[in-house]
Structure 1
């Protein structure tokens, strides 16, 4: 018997990638377990995306019918959430999780527009919900091979563990202290305790810190069940086996460095900040980005290095921002 999940909401963040979004929405129609809600956050606020989501909503209602709300009411499963400004992935997830929470969701399955869900994705996640409140399903890469994700975060340095083992043991899960919003799955209780994702990150490290915070209040795990696949080909440097260094943009490079300031502030708030060790992590992060420029993004060396430096400088400003406060819990 397929196990359902009480009020599971999918939260999708999209921006100017209607073709990828259409592919994801099409894959959702093949799910063996119907989601309670599907919240599509449109950071572009595009009429084209609005039409695409409206057509998808009609298909969903025809396939699964409307969804139950508190009392005897029925509403459309699909909720379109256009944003007045582009808040990046971080702002989109904060708005999307907030909307789903407001609607009454009890579980949140978050993802970008450049993935497709596996038919049994939600069904496979459901089997872990009686044991864990934060679950990261496994993914396939765009070429159909396994996608390795760095599930262990070295907190004192503020960097992913580059040598964490890739194989699962017989339990089918392993502990993690981070999260990836490309398929992260978490409960309402966790959101109530740690608050919404922090929109100030704009892009990068927002999901890492959300997973770090979640691991402070519950046991977070990655499971071996494959629940989705990536659909966008990204240039990369194959580092042997399933590990690789992917191409990125100068905008990402800037935020990779700048947002370490936010990361440090969260570590300070939870007693995990070690200045000298964290500084070593910042040096390692900058070195990794320079290696990425030399190995994968050689055409961006002249623009990329200034972005790394500027992000580093701005991260120092965040460390000394007297007005900064962490995201507040939704329930005390």
Structure 2
């Protein structure tokens, strides 16, 4: 008997592409590719975008071609475009391969052997899915899966527990494990490379949540493989950062503001409060995680350059991939 035309389409692992962005971390990329080799089932393709690495990343990729079990597409960029540019290119390549599902990940994670099967089990129901991760030490990693839309910032106290449904609705995204259907990519376009780093995945996940029910599911599918200095706040942690991150955290608030304006959700008072809270959080990070007072100049520099973006008459959102 034929199935109903409205029945969910069963997940086909070969229709999925894992898209990885890497930069000068061949040792971490090796661990990730080893984990993909051990997956069951495996994706049809593995796209690797190399942000102009100067180490032996290319040699590492070549060493896996005959043993990973999936077709590898390796794209080395001429310049470092940041995580934002890398994921935009990785998404483009995966989309042009005809992939139905695109699974994005940084090079500092590894995939659990049944990771794709676990994500695929939810694919007939949802089109924007985030799985869970173990932290470097094996603990459960908490990700802020909801944002206060008008403020444009994550909600740090969103409940971490799951009910019997096994999922929670989200309005954010994280490129360390985003699992997204090509139908959504067609409608919202590629990730915006102008962010370079920071806020790009939150914005992309928010855009997806405006046209589909986006969810985080109670499935552990990734494990982080890089230790990051943290401040243990009890039920939450705050990670160390860098001067570059501090700059882009503040500068890219302007890109979020432009998206909010374009979509008619911009509230100057609430968004300004979100920017002030972001600035304050970075001061706390400097004092209590990194234990230093230098670095604030990068926050102010980011705010200054963000004003140029906010006034740019040529700025436009990323276009959809279909008319």
Normalised-by-shorter TM-score class: over 0.9
| Of 121, 126, 149, the match for 2:120 | 126
Displacement, 1:46?
4.2
For 1:145 and 1:327, locate their aligned partners in 2 and report how far apart those are by CA, in whole Å. 37
Stretch deviating more after TM superposition (5-14 or 286-295): 5-14
1:26 alignment counterpart: 34
Structure 2 contact 11–124 (Cα < 8 Å) conserved: no
Q: Equivalences for 1:102-113 in 2 at 5 Å? A: 102-113=96-107
Say whether 1:248 aligns with 2:241: yes
Note closer, same or farther for the CA distance 1:82–1:11 as it changes in structure 2 (3 Å cut). same
Say whether 1:50 aligns with 2:58: yes
Note closer, same or farther for the CA distance 1:47–1:307 as it changes in structure 2 (3 Å cut). closer
| Of 189, 195, 216, the match for 2:183 | 189
Structure 2 contact 229–289 (Cα < 8 Å) conserved: yes
Say whether 1:310 aligns with 2:301: yes
Give a deviation string over 1:219-239, Cα, whole Å, max 9, x none.
100001000011100001111
Displacement, 1:4?
3.5
1:87 alignment counterpart: 81
Q: Equivalences for 1:125-204 in 2 at 5 Å? A: 125-204=119-198
| Residue segments in structure 2 that go unaligned for 5+ positions in a row | 1-9
The size of the alignment, in residue pairs, is 314
Say whether 1:220 aligns with 2:228: no
Structure 1 contact 209–263 (Cα < 8 Å) conserved: yes
For 1:85 and 1:251, locate their aligned partners in 2 and report how far apart those are by CA, in whole Å. 17
Note closer, same or farther for the CA distance 1:41–1:98 as it changes in structure 2 (3 Å cut). same
Give a deviation string over 1:82-118, Cα, whole Å, max 9, x none.
0011000000000011011111111100000000110
Structure 1 contact 43–85 (Cα < 8 Å) conserved: yes
2:265 alignment counterpart: 272
Report the secondary structure of 2:29's partner residue: helix
| Of 295, 320, 327, the match for 2:288 | 295
| Of 245, 270, 276, the match for 1:283 | 276
Structure 1 contact 204–256 (Cα < 8 Å) conserved: yes
Give the root-mean-square deviation of aligned CA atoms. Answer: 1.2
Note closer, same or farther for the CA distance 1:239–1:47 as it changes in structure 2 (3 Å cut). closer
Displacement, 1:141?
0.4
1:74 alignment counterpart: none
For 1:45 and 1:290, locate their aligned partners in 2 and report how far apart those are by CA, in whole Å. 31
Displacement, 1:47?
6.5
| Residue segments in structure 1 that go unaligned for 5+ positions in a row | 67-76
For 1:3 and 1:192, locate their aligned partners in 2 and report how far apart those are by CA, in whole Å. 19
Displacement, 1:162?
1.3
1:73 alignment counterpart: none
Report the secondary structure of 1:142's partner residue: coil
Note closer, same or farther for the CA distance 1:18–1:273 as it changes in structure 2 (3 Å cut). same
Say whether 1:234 aligns with 2:224: no
Report the secondary structure of 1:181's partner residue: coil
Displacement, 1:244?
0.4
Give a deviation string over 1:157-190, Cα, whole Å, max 9, x none.
1110011001011100000001000000000001
Report the secondary structure of 2:19's partner residue: strand
Structure 1 contact 3–126 (Cα < 8 Å) conserved: yes
Q: TM-score, with normalisation over the residues of structure 2?
A: 0.95
Say whether 1:35 aligns with 2:43: yes
2:5 alignment counterpart: none
